[in-house]
């Protein structure tokens, strides 16, 4: 049973560029959340997708956008990259419509903005 997968593993971009990160949820899961983890800090919630719609959003600017596909996979897009966007981006999947369900995390994508 494949767990949560993310691609790419590492990415280096220049300030001002745009980036797309991808996530495939664990089999049977229909909900995908994205988190940003800066070096030495805990993850911060970006947003969550359910039924192809953004269900909840954290305190991130509109430069951060996402999408969920009919097969439940998801993309995170970041426009106009800033140096401060350098971080580990984690995708987590879960099942169920309410809170309290275990969120299974992927290995993350390390984004470096130069």
Partner 1 sequence: AQTVTQSQPEMSVQEAETVTLSCTYDTSESDYYLFWYKQPPSRQMILVIRQEAYKQQNATENRFSVNFQKAAKSFSLKISDSQLGDAAMYFCASQEDSSYKLIFGSGTRLLVRP
Identify the sign of the CA torsion 27, 33, 37, 42: negative
**DSSP label at 83?**
G
Q: Which is nearer to partner 1, 44 or 86 (CB)?
A: 44
From residue 107, give the alpha-carbon distance in Å to each of 5, 25, 31, 90, 101: 7, 12, 17, 7, 19
CB of 100 to partner 1, least distance (A): 4
Q: Which of residues 49-78 bind partner 1 (CB under 8 A)?
A: 50, 55-56, 58
Q: What are the residues binding partner 1 (CB under 8 A)? A: 31, 33, 35, 40-45, 48, 50, 55-56, 58, 88, 90, 92, 98-100, 102-108
């Amino acid at each position: 049973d494949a767990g949560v997968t993310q691609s790419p593993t590492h990415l280096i971009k220049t300030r001002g560029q745009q980036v797309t990160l991808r996530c495939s949820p664990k089999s049977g899961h229909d909900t995908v959340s994205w988190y940003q983890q800066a070096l030495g800090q805990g993850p911060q919630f970006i947003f969550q997708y359910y039924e192809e719609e953004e269900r909840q959003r954290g305190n991130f600017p509109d430069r951060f956008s996402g999408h969920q596909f009919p097969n439940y996979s998801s993309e995170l897009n970041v426009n106009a990259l800033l140096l401060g966007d350098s971080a580990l981006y984690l995708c987590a999947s879960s099942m169920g419509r309410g809170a309290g369900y275990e969120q299974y995390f992927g290995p993350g994508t390390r984004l470096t903005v130069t």
